[in-house]
Amino acid sequence: MSIITENKVVRSICWFTESARSPRLIYALNDIETRLIERGYTIQTKRICFNTEPISALANLEETEGLYLSVGSLDYKTANEQLYDFLQAKNVSFNLDLTTSVDLEDVEVLFRIINKAPEKTFNFTYTFQNRPSSPFFPSATFERPGFAIGLQSTDLSEGCADMEEWLSNMRSVWEEVCSIFVDRADFLGIDASIAPLFRGKSSLVHFVKRISGGFSRVVTTDLFVKLTQFLSTHNPKPVGLCGLMLPCLEDFELAEEYEAGQFSIERNIFLSLHSGLGIDSYPIGINESPKRVLEVLRLLQMLSVKYEKPLSARFVSDGKARIGDRTDFRNQYLKDVRIRPL
């Protein structure tokens, strides 16, 4: 049972369902939220991931304030058929499954989004050997009905003198969340992925610099490997991805490393291969070569197959900034940076 009283932040409560027509969806999410709040948790987002619902069928739910929606993993044909509805939607996400192959037409999906509705790049990612039931968008995909919890575990590092103290805090919170829902057969589990945000206590880079002195040096130590080993072995009810997210522009202190030339696409892929989950909220210029994006995606696909590892690639654009320009996302979750070539 947890004795942690502060910094217990739930990034996502996600309900996985077949149909958008169930009248109990919002009630079910609110009930889960209430239980967590009563135990001292702060809830950031509530989400629903569907199995076979088309984007066009979600219009009514989009009117529910603060609710995030996803249609999960799509193949190229389905994504292409629904792309217009995706571009018109307010808050719907999806991921394009490229586990078996990557072609230039898959890259063209990204550039169509950049050209027509660049803000929607935040809601779209490519996935390779994706794991189901992760509550984190846009990688979430349906496998069976129920709900999953994703935490903002970086906040639990505040005041910790070393990695071991932070890991102990995480384990205590995982055990508490499981105890809260011990009576719920539809509780799928906890995606223990580290999901950094902003700066200070919520930033992974901030913690790494505080205990180790610098981000660049730590990249070639075993710190991240030890962290992800803990996530995979000590979570009492694992579900989803359970890895290290490296959201380039959502972790503002990681964005600063990017601007300083310390988080190249090569370094991102290196970290993802041994500890991470892929390329996440990585800036891309509107004049980046589609062939270069294809090269990166094909490498990720091959690495994913070779190491039997889930990976993803989410590139974000403001629709205006070219390589060398400074972005203007107007998105509170993305830090503006000067764009480097991939």
Domains of the chain as residue ranges with CATH: 9-316 (3.20.70.20)
Pull the structure tokens for residue 229.
């080993």
Helix ranges restricted to H, 66-214:
76-88, 104-116, 163-180, 204-212
Residues 6+ apart with CB under 8 A from 135: 11, 12, 13, 14, 47, 147, 148, 149, 150, 191, 240
- The answer to whether the beta carbons of residues 249 and 282 sit under 8 Å apart is yes
> Residue 122: what pLDDT?
98
> Residue 29: what pLDDT?
93
**pTM, rounded to two decimals:** 0.94
> Residue 2: what pLDDT?
52
Sequence letter at residue 172:
S
SS3 content of the chain, % helix, strand, coil (to 5): 40, 20, 40
Q: Largest Cα–Cα distance of the chain, in whole Å?
A: 54
The helix/strand/coil state of 62 is: helix
The closest alpha carbon to 78, from 152, 168, 15, 141, belongs to 141
pLDDT (tens, 9 = 90+) of the chain, 342 residues, equals 456 668 999 999 999 998 876 668 888 899 999 999 999 999 999 999 999 889 998 988 887 878 999 999 999 999 999 999 999 998 999 999 999 999 999 999 999 999 999 999 999 999 999 999 999 999 999 999 999 999 999 999 999 999 999 999 999 999 999 999 999 999 999 999 999 999 999 999 999 999 887 888 899 999 999 999 999 899 999 999 999 999 999 999 999 999 999 999 999 999 999 889 999 999 999 999 999 999 999 999 999 999 999 999 999 999 999 999 999 999 999 999 999 999
